[in-house]
Amino acid sequence: MPVVLFAAFVGLVLGLSFYFASQAKSAAGYYAAGGTIHWFVNGIAFAGDYLSAASFLGICGMIATCGYDGFLYSIGHLAGWIVALFVVAEPMKRLGKYTFTDALDAKFNSKGIQLAAAISTIIVSLFYLIPQMVGAGVLITPLLGFPHYVGVILVGIVVITIVASAGMTSTTYVQFLKGGLLIIFSTMLVVSTLGRGFSTTPDQGGKVPFYKYASLEASEADGRITPADSAWQFSGMREEAGQSLVKLLKDGKASWWHKQTGAETGKVILHETQSVVVKADGSRLINGSPASAENHLRQVGNLEIIKGKSGAEASTGAVGPAEFLADIGHRDTRVKTWKAIKFSEDDNQVTVYVAGLVPGNRILRPGLKFKVEGTWLQKLDFVSLMLALFLGTASLPHILIRYYTVPSPAAARKSTIVAIAAIGAFYVLTLYMGLGAMTNGTVNLLDDNMSAPLLARSFGTFLFSAISAIAFATVLGTVSGLIVAASGAVAHDLMDRYLGLNLSENRKVRAGKISAVVIGIVSIILGILFEGTNVSFLVGWAFSVAASANLPSIIMLLFWKRTTASGIIASIIAGVVSAMSMILLSPSMFRIYGLDPASAPFPIDNPGIFSIPISFAALVIVSLMTQPGQEKMPETAAA
């Protein structure tokens, strides 16, 4: 069933592409769908573009592991549309033709702006492409059983085929179809989750027996642990990431246990964990036994206590939308969450997954991932992320180019409102899907991105197949839109305008398609390199770069009469360079490099709070320094 539905979806998408290919012979058709798309279709297509792998896979995954902190992305992403609607939508439509660069350059006809804006578009698109491709690999593995890299390559090939065949027209209709289906099936998933209610022993509707993790009583003396059950032999103990981990042997098999000592009783209790050991020869042990199709990490996530009750009496039966959130967020509810602890032992790389109980009231407010109660740097990181999400939406190239697919500024406005309604509805659903995964034992410890599809699988093959196929189409559609935006920057902004090659219509379209192939290949490589990283987190970076590189130019062009071409160029360069530098030197990137995150020169993960003001400052300073009459704007663009 999953494979059949998947194949049907991909076939439908490709069929649409080839059909619209016959109608998109001109450059206007390729890059902007001829400016003929109805505002309602464009609005849902906006939702399709925007509700990418990051929203469906990443946000739900982050909520499933970090609770409300994942929902912050939903709030920020949606709030960003206010900037798009109130400030950017209509002026961008009035100024532009095919690309973001056209709009920025409408008043100046500057080679420098053409070059800087085109490069910015390519970089932002690539940053946004990484999480989409990672999401593609994540989906393919459980769906078709292929490794991550095969999924990434498969999506890359399909998307390149789509984009190289018909451009923006097919992309728009694919997004319309996908956006609509995503909201419909997500609603079905949430209704099913509410209908199931809560239990402290979730068994996925009887499909997967609930696994009860063991606890052992033990005593401790002279640095040695002695389990009360003599079948277990002590093998070693170590302190990692503030946790005591004990290695025990039973029947020659090693396993890791999490040691906790009662504060008052002094009693030592060992709690069963899950573990992955990667040996020097590359072979893997899962929970002490060789990895195989049958032996893999168990999916996790459940409530241990529901409003003070445990066991069978805690089961709620069907719950309403408010009751669902109230039950999880209750002070006397305890959610079992898991934390990965990594270390080396001899030549082996060991990851131990340790369970802990978090009160419900901590799950449903910020703080588990973004330490709002932490140091001022941690608080700054939180503010920086929220700022980038708020300002980033209106700066994303693949969103900006969609304003050129409708016939008028009023249609651009109306399509944005449809987008806000559709996207807002979906983001409310993300909280339910993420928390549903968190409490139904459907979180994959190795990759939280699959939480929502795995939640769907707990309700049966059909919902899983449909949701996975739609998620796959989500990736296809978003990647298509991004590649159209990036290829437009290369072929239209760089080759035709900046280099002045004066390409004919046909050659212009061909150049765009060749660019799409190259950008597609680059995105495939990046998608493979970033395997396992939460896709929402990666999108947060794309928003930071977009907000830093593009938004100051757009805002100042529209609202500050003294803006000059040199100021815009300086702003774009300063925004791109500062945001990228800070990301490359951030703690999260150091973790990816395999270095100690604490040694990262830039101490926070989200650069927006510094890079956006830097970009604004560069524009203002350079504009004030370059005020010859010919560069000064004759009037505000919006007027």
Partner 1 sequence: MFHKPAEQGGKDPAAAFKTTLGVWMFIGYAIVYAGFIGINLISPLAMETEIFMGLNLAVTYGFGLIVSALILAVIYNQLCNNKEAELAASSEGKAE
From 182-190, 231-239, 291-299, 496-504, give the range in contact with partner 1 by CB under 8 A.
Answer: 496-504
From 188-196, 233-241, 293-301, 321-329, give the range in contact with partner 1 by CB under 8 A.
Answer: 321-329
Q: What interhelical angle do 505-529 and 111-144 show, nearest 10?
A: 50
- For residue 231, the one-letter residue type is A
From 46-54, 95-103, 229-237, 538-546, give the range in contact with partner 1 by CB under 8 A.
Answer: 95-103
- For residue 310, the one-letter residue type is S
From 71-79, 185-193, 204-212, 561-569, give the range in contact with partner 1 by CB under 8 A.
Answer: 71-79
By the rule CB under 8 A, 638 interacts with partner 1: yes
Instruction: Answer for the pair 152, 3: CB distance below 8 angstroms, yes or no.
Output: no
Closer residue to partner 1 in complex, CB, 286/425: 425
Would you say the C-alpha torsion 374, 380, 385, 391 has a positive or negative sign?
positive
By the rule CB under 8 A, 514 interacts with partner 1: no
Closer residue to partner 1 in complex, CB, 98/537: 98
Q: Nearest 5°: phi and psi at 315?
A: -60, 140
What length is written for the chain? 639
Instruction: Answer for the pair 154, 136: CB distance below 8 angstroms, yes or no.
Output: yes
DSSP type of residue 316: -
Dist CA 579 CA 476 (whole Å): 27
From 53-61, 274-282, 383-391, 436-444, give the range in contact with partner 1 by CB under 8 A.
Answer: 383-391
By the rule CB under 8 A, 197 interacts with partner 1: no
List 431, 475, 535, 622, residue binding partner 1 (CB under 8 A): 431
Dist CA 315 CA 420 (whole Å): 36
CB of 580 to partner 1, least distance (A): 25
Burial class of 429 by CB neighbour count within 10 A (0 to 12, 13 to 18, 19+): buried
The two structure tokens encoding residue 2: 């999953």
Identify the CA nearest to 231 among candidates 255, 248, 213, 214: 248
List 14, 106, 150, 529, residue binding partner 1 (CB under 8 A): 106
User: How many residues line the site for partner 1 (CB under 8 A)?
Assistant: 69
Closer residue to partner 1 in complex, CB, 626/636: 636
By the rule CB under 8 A, 7 interacts with partner 1: no
Closer residue to partner 1 in complex, CB, 104/124: 104
Helices (H) and strands (E) in the chain, counts: 24, 12
Quickly tell me which residue has 């990759």 as its tokens: 447
By the rule CB under 8 A, 386 interacts with partner 1: yes
Identify the CA nearest to 234 among candidates 242, 224, 220, 243: 224
By the rule CB under 8 A, 336 interacts with partner 1: no
Dist CA 67 CA 328 (whole Å): 10
By the rule CB under 8 A, 410 interacts with partner 1: yes
By the rule CB under 8 A, 51 interacts with partner 1: no
From 100-108, 115-123, 588-596, 619-627, give the range in contact with partner 1 by CB under 8 A.
Answer: 100-108
By the rule CB under 8 A, 403 interacts with partner 1: no
CB of 85 to partner 1, least distance (A): 6
Q: Hey, how many other C-beta atoms are within 10 angstroms of the C-beta on 336?
A: 19
By the rule CB under 8 A, 634 interacts with partner 1: no
Q: What is the CA radius of gyration of the chain?
A: 26
By the rule CB under 8 A, 531 interacts with partner 1: no
CB of 128 to partner 1, least distance (A): 22
Dist CA 550 CA 127 (whole Å): 14
Dist CA 149 CA 160 (whole Å): 16
The residues of the shown chain that bind partner 1, judged by CB under 8 A, are: 27, 68, 71, 74-75, 78-79, 81-83, 85-87, 90-91, 93-97, 102-103, 105-106, 322-323, 325-327, 329-330, 361, 364-367, 372-373, 379, 382-383, 386, 390, 408-410, 413-414, 416-417, 420-421, 424, 427-428, 431, 492, 496-497, 502-505, 508, 558-559, 636, 638-639
